[in-house]
Amino acid sequence: PGIVHRIDKDTSGLLVVAKDDATHIGLSQQMAVHSVERAYNTIVYGGFAQDEGFVESNLGRSKTDRKKMCVTTENSREAVTHYFVEQTYRNNTLVRLRLETGRTHQIRVHMAYIGHPLVGDWLYGTEDHNIAKRQMLHSCYLCFTHPITGQIMEFKDEMAEDMRAFIEKLS
C-alpha cells in the first residue's frame, strides 16, 4: 500500500514500506503520534559550540519559493530536531540527529537555520556542485512496534559509501 517513512530525494538510508493495508494504517498511526524512533547522520558546515542540543521551531512552506520550507509561524507545524556532534573536522562536523517530529525537509531547514547547512544541499545550503553530488544525509536508524505482531522492530544502516569517502577526505 505504500511508503510509511519517507526520506528526501538524494537522502540515503532506511525507509519503511507497508505490504498490506492493516500494517500501513498501524505504522501511519505510529508516525502520527511520533512513536517511531528515527535517527540520521549528516555532514554539515562549521563547528558547534555545544556537543548536543536541539532545534525547536515551526516549519511551513516558503512564500518566495514553493519548493522550500522555512522557519515561520504562519501556516506552520511544530518541528523538533535533536543533534549530537559525532566528530569535528576543520570546516565540517559529522552530526547524528534524532527527530521528534517528521516535517518536510525538517533536518535540512533546521540545520541551515542554526547556521550549519548540510554539505551538498543546494536548496538550503551551498550552490557549489563540486563539493558533493547530493546532500550528505543518511537515514541510519528506525525503531517501531510492528502493528500486527507487536514485536519491536529495530533497523540500523551503515553510513552511505559517498559520505564515508567524504569523511576520509576531511580526516
- Give the catalytic positions in this structure: 8
Closest CA to 139 of 31, 34, 13: 13
Closest CA to 59 of 117, 121, 110: 110
CA–CA distance, 154 with 109 (Å, rounded to integer): 27
The H or E element spanning position 4 is: strand 2-5
CA–CA distance, 93 with 23 (Å, rounded to integer): 37
